[in-house]
Structure 1
């Protein structure tokens, strides 16, 4: 439309005031963290179902294959969680349980990487935006004299106020986007907690059953992969 003005990115930066550069830095930090976490979670979720199916099938049919399968996916958090107690040589069920818990704590903590960065961005961005707006308003209104009220000399104040609000809008935009992805990653993490508990409980139950069967039949307890020569060929 005729008379309609468009503002490009460079003009927004120029009019954003003193806080626009810290907000730009926070936005870059947030975007980088979001992209890294999206890549991480995409790899986790794509392979997860396959790992669960293979591990649970192996645990039922041939326990020694569980270690082999977990080793194949050693870069996956769930596989690392499963593989950690299997590195022990024929541990007792109680020790197996403790090893699973310790591995779960480590992997789940690693999955929360980047959350502190997003939390900081969510907290700081609106405050920086508000500070920029207040600072801009102070500068815009400080040039007004009582004798100038109602005259054409105050016409620039409106423009100054609108420019001061840019920093608040920018801060809110950065915080909203960061918060949306932060909640998404939290939902992914909460689902992983449920999966780790379920898989850990099932593996522990199977391990205890096989341990008791070996003791009842008077057989040596031997579940380690390296002792099965048929798997080495």
Structure 2
């Protein structure tokens, strides 16, 4: 077997198709790692501010609660919901110089719509990039496999053109072609693991946000939290 068998030799012997496959895998890897690192940083900041809800309900007034939450909610997951819901409730506590659809809506319905809109906003933000990670995880192995098949095809074509079949002449090119399958797996595995991890983190965060929305709605419409704890 030739001593120069390896990825460099495979790259030198490759054509435009094999080079395109390699560049595509590189691009998929860069994109997936960008989202993996950025979302991991955001998830860490969200977990660091997980006591934002506790700070909110410990404050003496609604204004103090929002201010206390802003100090720990660095990713602005919970704070905008409290601010928008408070603004929606204030519509009915002050004189409106001009009529509007919001002013004509029942307070309970307006607050509900505001909370739902904020949950949708956070959900869309948390899910940003997950589609790309799922796509990379599911397609990268097949892209690498395509590169392998293409490389094996050219290796066998070269052997056929030479008119002689020797194991050392076949094993080297075939082994080089298999590198593309390995690269596909290297790209796909981190994307799949990250997708599963971020999906679970998002599910926990959205569950906390939904519970906070339920408590906040109860407080703004009745003056009490769920369970009868008056603030």
Q: TM-score range by the shorter chain?
A: 0.7 to 0.9
- TM-score, length-normalised on structure 2? 0.76
CA apart distance, 1:108: 1.4
User: Deviations 1:56-82 (Å, cap 9, x if unpaired)?
Assistant: 223xx4334233334544742121222
CA distance in 2 between counterparts of 1:21 and 1:201 reads 48
Structure-2 residue corresponding to 1:106:
121
Aligned length, in residue pairs: 203
Structure-2 residue corresponding to 1:53:
54
CA distance in 2 between counterparts of 1:137 and 1:22 reads 19
Are 1:122 and 1:178, in contact at CA under 8 Å, matched by a contact in 2? yes
CA-based RMSD of the aligned residues comes to: 2.9
User: Deviations 1:168-200 (Å, cap 9, x if unpaired)?
Assistant: 111012111110001111111111111011111
Matches within 5 A, 1:135-214: 135-145=150-160, 148=163, 152=166, 155-210=168-223
CA apart distance, 1:116: 2.3
Contiguous gaps of at least 5 residues in structure 2: 93-106, 225-231
SS of alignment partner, residue 87 of structure 1: helix
CA distance in 2 between counterparts of 1:145 and 1:13 reads 21
Are 2:10 and 2:177, in contact at CA under 8 Å, matched by a contact in 1? no
CA apart distance, 1:32: 1.3
Are 2:55 and 2:69, in contact at CA under 8 Å, matched by a contact in 1? no
Structure-1 residue corresponding to 2:81:
81
Structure-1 residue corresponding to 2:33:
31
User: Deviations 1:8-40 (Å, cap 9, x if unpaired)?
Assistant: 886686678432221112111111111111111
Contiguous gaps of at least 5 residues in structure 1: 212-233
Structure-2 residue corresponding to 1:67:
66
CA apart distance, 1:93: 2.7
